[in-house]
Amino acid sequence: MVRELVVLGLFPAAMAFAASSDLVSMTISNRLSLALAAAFFLVAAIIGMPVAEVGRHVLASLLVLAVAFGFFTRGWIGGGDAKLAAATALWLGFAHLMDYLIVSALVGGALTILLLEARKLPLPRALAGTPWIARLHAVDCGIPYGIALAVAGLVVYPETVFMRALAG
């Protein structure tokens, strides 16, 4: 029972927290990314993931971190987004990395278009008094891309080795 709760709950809860945090504050805590990475090793041990497979997941994460860090240095994404993408890649490994990147790009593109279009409209008075909504509506504010990264992680997670371990 505990095994199922950990496998079914840790990753989705972290993704939900990351998305909501980015939406409300435009930040993703370093502690969240570190906790997500640490939880991977715990869950990998719980399901008996072979060490070689753990190593491949680590390589996928390092690759994503390197590319995402390059994006961060160019100002294309935030640092929290880069770390969240790498921590998520750790869970997904190479087997699901391309699916994750495609889904996050599609969701991120839709989110960006939605926010850019919404920012062209006046913010209703009832919402203008809420600081995070007013900030999100501001034209000089970025896009909370952590939402797209989290949604993509949740879309891909059911196909992972972790979920197969529960079924088997």
Rg (CA), the chain: 17
In eight-state DSSP terms, residue 122 is P
pTM of the model: 0.94
Average pLDDT, the chain: 95
d(CA 109, CA 7): 30
Helix (H, G, I), strand (E, B) or coil at 58: helix
> How confident is residue 135, by pLDDT bands cut at 50, 70 and 90?
very high
6 neighbors 43 (Cβ within 8 angstroms)? yes
Q: How confident is the model at residue 39 (pLDDT cuts 50, 70, 90)?
A: very high
pLDDT digits (tens, 9 = 90+) for 70-128: 999 999 999 999 999 999 999 999 999 999 999 999 999 999 999 999 999 999 988 98
Banded pLDDT at 2 (limits 50, 70, 90): confident
Predicted pLDDT at 116: 96
